[in-house]
Amino acid sequence: MARLPKILLMAGLALLSGSGLAHADDVKLGNLVIRQAWSRATIPSVDTGAVYLEIDNGGPAADRLVGVSTPAAAMAHLHTTEMQGNMASMKAMDGLDIPAGGKVVLRPQQSHVMLMGLTAPLKKGSSFPLTLEFEKAGKVDVNVPVESAGALGPDGN
């Protein structure tokens, strides 16, 4: 009998972790919630990097991510990775639509924020600010933690 409450508690926590509830490091801007921003560590000889994140739009109207900037790089642009045969190539995007009631996820080998002309190598354990500019919601700053060079997600794995 004592196990039942523990199982219910664990099930409840699992449901909450997958819900739309905001977490401490989430950033809210109007109906938008920016979650799990992260980047990978770079080596000194490479002056490019990338940022990945999630954008949830809980509102009734679509929005569009139209600009990105950071003091950590000379330029920041929205990019997507496209496969042409067996070759991957990156293509700049002029914006990224965030559908009403929807979610957009920027992840490795897909859409991402490309950083060019890094002012310093991105080091694991550090972080840097990134400004996102939305067509309707306006601008917001997010903190971008740097994971290991081979990380596949915001938890370093």
Chain segment 31-90, per-residue pLDDT in tens: 999 999 999 999 999 999 999 999 999 999 999 999 999 999 999 999 998 878 888 788
- Within a domain: 44: yes
- For the chain, the domain total comes to 1
For 103-155, write each residue's pLDDT tens digit.
999 999 899 999 999 999 999 999 999 999 999 999 999 999 999 999 988 88
**Residue 127 is part of which domain span?**
28-147
The domain that holds 48 is classified in CATH as 2.60.40.1890
Please check whether residue 118 lies inside any domain of the structure.
yes
Q: Quick one: tokens of 54? A: 């999630």
Residue 157 has pLDDT above 70, yes or no: no
Asked whether residue 99 is domain-assigned, the answer is yes
